[in-house]
Homo-oligomer: A and B are copies of this chain.
Amino acid sequence: MEKYAANISSIREAQARIKSLAHTTPVLSSESLNAMSGRQLYFKCECFQKGGAFKFRGACNAVFSLDDNDAAKGVVTHSSGNHAAALSLAAKLRGIPAYIVIPKNAPQCKVDNVMRYGGQVIWCEASLQSRQEVANKVVKETGGILIHPYNDGRIMSGQGTISLELLEQAPLIDTIIVPISGGGLISGVALAAKSINPAIRILAAEPRGANDTAQSKAAGRIITLPETETIADGLRAFLGDKTWPVVRDLVDDVIVVEDNETVEAMKLAFEILKVVLEPSGAIGLAAVLSDTFKKNPAWKDCRNIGIIFSGGNVDLGILWDSFRK
């Protein structure tokens, strides 16, 4: 797997680098949800990670990979929020500045997280183009190092540490369902898991209104969409040139999920598991409970399924509103 931007060695190095800084997150299970799905489910709770999402793993690995000269000028990124908060926290732990370009439509709780961790917020428009332009400008002005939210081997390696932990916590796992957006999480998870056990199936969960991965896999090349529409605000990004080859080669299928299924999954997580999930965080549970998955004969022998609960940064008011619709 040497042709990719990350590999099992870089992921093990990341694990050693971030071990004392990141939480080892617990794996929960529920007989009620096992019964509903007809499988054994293992929920890897990255919502309990520092900053409330898996993003801290990659950000921490990236920030602590920098040599002292590079680090001193600080780090820069653009993000819908969870990577931003994670990078702010990692930078704070290293004692360097973090410059965060955030689109104006980001959820308030994610912006609050950035500020709580001492990140310096620079606003931009909601478009990917505006994000990138503003971020490039900040890089020029500060000399800071741009840490892309996902299209970066250090980020992919950090996220891959989830698989190392998960497969130790639940060694029977034969399948992992992972939310997909830009592909940083799933590429790290896939590289680590398939390196440990090539038979493990890696399935992406993607919202109908941002199903660029399903389209990309069908087309055999990166497809971007003119616009996206989904409640899962963390899943609107498109694949990058470093994540795409891994997604192309190692992701076994993409499960496309409706937003109402994602809301129902958030509700089940709240009521049965007592876990707070943002929509992006709940989409894996939605996927495993969907007819799309249950009725697909290709996946009927997936028995022990790891599901990545990727994050829990959701405003209670928004959660309540979405439950009542």
Contacts and interface: CB of A to CB of B under 8 A. Distances in A.
Interface of A: 23, 26, 28-29, 31-32, 47-48, 50, 52, 109, 116, 267, 270-277, 312-313, 316-317, 319-320, 323
6 contacts: A32-B116, A48-B273, A52-B272, A270-B276, A274-B313, A316-B320
Contacts of A323: 316
How many copies of the chain does the oligomer comprise?
2
A274 B275 contact: yes
Given A276-B276, A319-B316, A320-B317, A271 B109 contact: yes
A317 to B, nearest CB: 7
A28 B48 contact: yes
A274 B317 CA distance: 14
Contacts of A320: 316-317, 320
Contact of A276 (B28, B116, B274): B274
A32 to B, nearest CB: 7
Given A52-B274, A316-B320, 8 more contacts: A28-B48, A48-B273, A52-B272, A271-B316, A274-B276, A275-B275, A275-B276, A316-B323
Nearest to A272: B52
